[in-house]
Amino acid sequence: MTEQRKIEKFGVGNLYPDIHPPEFSFFKEKCIDVALGYDDGFTFTPKFGNFKETEDIFDYLKKYLEDKELEKLDIRFDTLKTCIYQINPETLELGELLECEGSDVEYFEWNKQTKSFDEVDSNSLSDEEEEYFH
């Protein structure tokens, strides 16, 4: 990124409206690639896209569980140290993903007794469970 004007009012990243095309660069570790089982997942972009109303991934996932009426959910988080999207500076709609790079990987499972997500020690995962999360 060049030394273009940036706008920092978002709390989760910087808008670069003078770059062509304009870009939005999320702060380190604000975005998370979320894998839900074998074939479902998304990139959590707090305050943007489907996540305009939240900055907390666990709040979003609790609502996801409710909406889908699920009793079990295993999750793999890949916290992104780089996450840059094209953005429409007028509407603040994210466009094409330009660059992303992961860093820390964590695993969680839903605990229906405590109504919270428990971290899973990745060393305890079987080969089948490892495959399930990738």
More confident residue, 130 or 15: 15
Is residue 1 one of the residues assigned to a domain?
A: no
| Domain assignment present for 7 | no
Kindly tell me if the per-residue pLDDT of 133 is higher than 60: no
**Whole-Å CA distances, 75 to 16, 72, 121, 126:** 32, 10, 12, 15
Q: What is the rounded average pLDDT of the residues 124-133? A: 52
Percent of the chain residues topping a pLDDT of 90: 43
pTM of the model: 0.79
The reported pLDDT for the residue numbered 134 is 47
Total of domains in the chain? 1
Q: Which residue has the tokens 């089948």?
A: 128
Candidates 18, 3, 9; CA nearest to 87 is 18
**Span 90-116, average pLDDT:** 90
Residue 103 belongs to domain spanning = 13-133
Angle 55-124-133 from CA coordinates, rounded to 5°: 50
Q: Classify residue 19: in a domain, yes or no.
A: yes
Does residue 5 belong to any structural domain of this protein? no
List pLDDT tens digits, range 36-79.
876 788 999 999 988 988 889 999 999 888 888 888 888 889 99
